[in-house]
Amino acid sequence: MTRFARWRLALLGAVVLTLAGCATSRPDAPRDASSWSGRLALTVHSEPPQSYSAGFELRGALAAGELQLTSPLGTVLASVHWSAQGAELRQGTQVTRRPSLDELTTDLGGTPLPVAALFGWLQGQAAEADGWKADLSRHADGRVLARRLQPLPTAELRLVFQP
């Protein structure tokens, strides 16, 4: 795997992790709220294996929203904004724009991100996504595990949040 392909996979992983939700719902928000924050960890079983973790703030829904990834010190690593008009990734001074979130995530990782399923997983719903399988058995305990089986390399996303 080339260095550029690994970078794209890492960035897709970060976006997946954030959207998928190592989420903490805001205490004053109802259960079906459209705002989450928390921590996530992604392991990509490539050669060599790669691991990523980040804090995140996710607001919105499938149709429109924004995601911000942060370092442990609170530095913004990347932000993604999407709406019916298109999707945009900002990483430092670099900006990538595409007509849709699916196109943006496909360009970054070679396959579209299962955004609809990710929002479902955040709410504890067993949503299906091509190539992904989510284990929500510990959702009530504030834990979600999602695995990407296809396409290779496989990946594992772990989320921890306040139920």
Position 110 scores a pLDDT of 65
According to DSSP, residue 132 is labeled E
| Residue bearing the bigger pLDDT, 9 or 75 | 75
Pick the CATH number of 3-160 from 2.60.40, 3.40.50, 2.50.20, 1.10.20: 2.50.20
Binned at pLDDT 50, 70 and 90, residue 4 comes out as: very low
Report the percentage of the chain scoring pLDDT > 70.
75
Position 122 scores a pLDDT of 80
Domain boundaries along the sequence of the chain: 3-160
Structure tokens at 148: 């990407």
At 18-77, the pLDDT tens digits run 444 333 333 333 333 577 778 888 888 989 998 888 988 888 998 999 989 899 899 999
* DSSP string computed for 8-70: HHHHHHHHHHHHHT--EE-TTS-TT-SEEEEEEEEEE--SS-EEEEEEEEEEE-SSSEEEEEE
Mean pLDDT confidence for 127-138: 91
Position 78 scores a pLDDT of 92
Binned at pLDDT 50, 70 and 90, residue 95 comes out as: very high
Position 111 scores a pLDDT of 65
| pTM confidence score | 0.72
Position 12 scores a pLDDT of 52
Mean pLDDT of the chain: 79
Tell me which of 38-42, 70-74, 80-84, 144-148 is least confident.
38-42
Which of 84, 55, 49 minimizes the C-alpha distance to 67? Answer: 55
